[in-house]
Chains A and B, each alone.
Chain A
Amino acid sequence: MAEGIKDKVAIIGMGCTRFGERWDAGSEDLMVEAFKETIEDAGIDRKEIQAAWFGSCFDSVNVGLSAAPLSLALKLPFLPVTRVENFCATGSEALRGAAYAVASGAYDICLALGCEKLKDTGYGGLPDMATMMGVKNRLIMPGLTAPGGFAMMATRYFAKYGIDPQEGKKILAKISIKSHKNGAKNPKAHLRREVTEEQVLKAPMIAWPLGLFDCCGVSDGAAAAIVCRADMAKNFRPDPVYIKALQIAISSGEEMMYTKWDGTYVETAVHAAARAYKEAGIKNPREEISMMEVHDCFSITELVTYEDLQISPRGKAGDDVRDGFYDLDGKIPCQPDGGLKCFGHPIGATGLRMMYEMYKQLQGKAGERQIKDPRIGLTHNMGGFPAMNLISISIAGLK
């Protein structure tokens, strides 16, 4: 009977570039920058790496297909390298591949690196999806964008719970204000400026009801991790971070084509979270999770995620937001590094960036953002749209 990978794999080194509009850096520069910090942090010789997983998503504007770009950039010595892609949860997939390889006993030490160069498109927002969803979908899918795909969840959430859209926007604004406050404290974040409620509410509309400040930064960046067998982790450092759970869940088509899903939550998140809590042995997430980085591509995503993760009751996440429950000094700080909102969202790197913050916080190295004595960190990384998506949930902690 499968028992999961709890405490079988440890993270012994991590690195993350500054995220942002890195006009001066190509993807090779970003990969090397993240890699350098990672091996220095792990204190290992690069020759000790036995296999690597490379995550990048928008290949057409990025580094090109296959795992070769990573191997070439890092001059890996004919190692087995695998490229993975799973929409915006690509970074978490790279970590999952590397961790599973170690857990299986195939390798002792593996590298996971995610990189995305989004600012080579010539326009704002994510690269247009018209050409990326397959030849049939492009003939039948509406001409949608990422903010529009998520805005539909806000529309439905407000309608179901009878929230006036202007009131709803105020709840969402509080989420963005909190992340900007945290991001301002983070030297590696893309957007480092606090914002007021007035600024958020008066910002230009992007996809009704979401305005500019309901949307995350679109950035260049890379992040990486070195994982190894848990029993050898302390040979490298005194404070390795242990993986407690890695779970993903992907849509079955039911949300999109069957009329049961009510559109106010992300179905896959419920399944992935339940499996992750089981794998990690977490019974009461509201009490046991110390902190988290969730996929706040848009403010509404963060709001429903509080509920999907069984931390806020259904329809009541707004109350926790108003109470400051998820603020840096709240019960479960969420997005201590600024989240996708302010740290930025280079697709392939994001899942690893989330884990980077959990890793630093667990080790007490998060500077002025440091949370007091965190024990368990959770990352929630989402790809796709609420109606068709995948959710990757990782849980990590100190032993």
Chain B
Amino acid sequence: MVGITSYGAYIPRYRIDRGVVYKAMGWLNPGTFMAGEKAVANFDEDSITMAVAAGIDCLQGMDRGKMDALYFATTTSPYKERQSAEIIATAFNLRADIRTADFTGSIKSGTTSLLSALDALKAGSAKNAMVCTADCRIGKPGSAQEEIFGDGAAALTVGEGNVIAGFVDSCSVSYDFVDHWRADGQTFDRQWEDRFIRDVGYAKFIMEAISGLAKKCKLDVKDIAKVAYPCLYEGDHKSIGKKLGLNPEQIQDHMVSNVGYTGTASPLMMLVAALEDAKPGDNIVVASFGNGSDALLFKVTDEIEKVKGKRRGIKKHLAMRRELKNYEKFISFRNVLPVEKGIRGEIMGATAISELWRSRRQILALCGSRCKACGTPQFPSQKICVNPDCKTMDQMEDYPFSDKRGTLFTYTADLLAFSLNPPAIYGFVDFNGGGRYWFDITDADQEAVKVDMPVEMSFRKKYVDEEKGVHGYFWKAVPVLE
């Protein structure tokens, strides 16, 4: 049996109350009002970094060396050309002889990437595969999308052994249904009238896929523990459930009120949330929406108990929240509001792509070296051991730091350095097990940062060279939150 072997999720720490957004922009379209709050990626996060965070959550205790494929689904890739999945695979330090692909162009591609991974297993071309999905969609100021869109990510591994939720079957429908679109070069979605989207698309495709799946599997909807499908309109989300004959407790929380509509990531984030509460024997259906719908049925196994509670997943990330009270800061993070960086902030060294290539494992995977003679871990990788009592030459082996926690040796909060989220906090991390280096510190309030506090590493966007179109990624230190 093929199926899900592990799950993980990520929700960025910042949440903005929709009232803050409405207070700033509601004057333009009073009808955009929505209740609740939404998750907002920090200035140094994007779909790739969130996918890496969800993936790291998912890979806890898993053998990364066994992954044969990595698929990434998003509609918000930073690059049009340069595969995001490959950046993510390198960040996880996966093998090079694997299959990678980006699934994009539609917010249903999260489920499509999962189906493709399962198909690869069934075809025997992979024994273990990983699917990451994330979205960080930008709503135009004053639009309904600005209110509903939220940022987040989910990750799943699928395989043949130790399956926590076996894959039963799926049913897909595909239509060139243009509810919204975004052409090359455009920052914001355009969308057609809500009544059209709702009545012709949203109210029908999900039903069609789920009903088709139930029929195919001869499954009575009463035997489904949880059904997860995205929420574009709260009222219609409820009526889809009703029409399918589901009780409210069978419907997975769509998280629009506390995370927002996370696009491509939404169905798989809900699936992760469903798995967090699942019991062996549960049937779980997940469906997507966007140019049609994919519906997938999973049957939870006894193995679920080995993973449950051991991931940050949805629940713990929901609890790790920090309110963003400033609308202008929110839109500055997404570069919607151009801000004064000052001449210092504009200075940008060219990215040597050849350096990025030869040091890719150090930069993207935070992989340093360990001296075989004295055992000292060191970052970045050294040829001659840095231990003053050793200094052995050319006896190094790879040593990953990304999964090591450490303590903050010292730090500062710098107001001279340009940061979109000032002050720029940075400091030295002494890694548990050895090794020291200096890093930017993110997702931290200055008052909470203390010498010797525990920190962990987080994959982040380090810089964007807008002129040359380069997105630079590296690792930053963040306070350990649990």
Contact = CB atoms under 8 A, between A and B. Distances in A.
B299 to A, nearest CB: 45
A156 B386 contact: no
Interface in B319-363: 342-344, 347-352, 355-356, 359, 362-363
Interface residues of A, number: 43
Contact of B380 (A123, A140, A159, A263): A140
A206 B416 contact: yes
A341 B293 CA distance: 67
B33 interface: no
A125 interface: yes
A250 B162 CA distance: 54
A144 B388 contact: no
Contacts of B363: 139-140
A198 B258 CA distance: 47
A208 interface: yes
Interface string A336-352: 00000000000000000
Contacts of A204: 415
A131 interface: yes
Contacts of A139: 351, 355-356, 359, 363, 462, 472, 474
B409 A263 contact: yes
Contacts of B352: 135
Contact of B414 (A148, A153, A252, A260): A148
A135 B427 CA distance: 21
A253 B410 contact: no
B451 interface: yes
A159 B438 contact: no
Contact of A136 (B359, B376, B435, B439): B359
Given A256-B437, A258-B378, A143 B343 contact: no
Interface stretch (B80-88, B190-198, B417-425): B417-425
Contacts of A122: 343
Interface string B25-69: 000000000000000000000000000000000000000000000
B412 interface: yes
Contacts of B412: 147-148, 151-152, 155, 207-210
Contact of B417 (A145, A152, A260): A145
Residue of B355, B417, B426, B474 ringed by the most chain A CB atoms within 10 A: B417
B169 interface: no
Nearest to B380: A140
B410 A142 contact: no
A271 to B, nearest CB: 12
A143 B417 contact: yes
Given A139-B356, A156-B409, A254 B386 contact: yes
Given A128-B347, A155-B411, A205-B415, A260 B388 contact: yes
Nearest to B347: A128
B294 interface: no
B355 A259 contact: no
Interface string A115-157: 0000001111100101100011011111111011001110110
B416 A387 contact: no
Contacts of B387: 254, 258
A293 B349 CA distance: 35
Most chain B beta-carbon neighbours within 10 Å: one of A156, A253, A258, A263: A258
Contact of B436 (A141, A152, A207, A258): A258
B344 A141 contact: no
Nearest to A260: B388
Contacts of B418: 143
A106 interface: no
B382 interface: yes
A140 B452 contact: no
B436 A257 contact: yes
A147 B411 contact: no
B396 to A, nearest CB: 13
Nearest to B355: A135
Given A159-B451, A205-B415, A258-B388, A142 B355 contact: no
Given A151-B412, A258-B378, A258-B436, 9 more contacts: A123-B342, A124-B416, A138-B349, A142-B438, A143-B426, A207-B416, A253-B382, A258-B376, A260-B388
26 contacts: A123-B342, A125-B416, A130-B349, A139-B351, A140-B363, A140-B380, A143-B417, A143-B462, A144-B426, A148-B426, A152-B410, A152-B411, A152-B428, A155-B451, A206-B414, A207-B412, A208-B446, A210-B412, A252-B388, A256-B436, A256-B438, A258-B376, A258-B387, A258-B436, A259-B436, A263-B428
Query: What 6 pairs between A and B have smallest CB-CB spacing?
Result: A151-B412, A148-B414, A142-B426, A131-B349, A156-B410, A135-B352
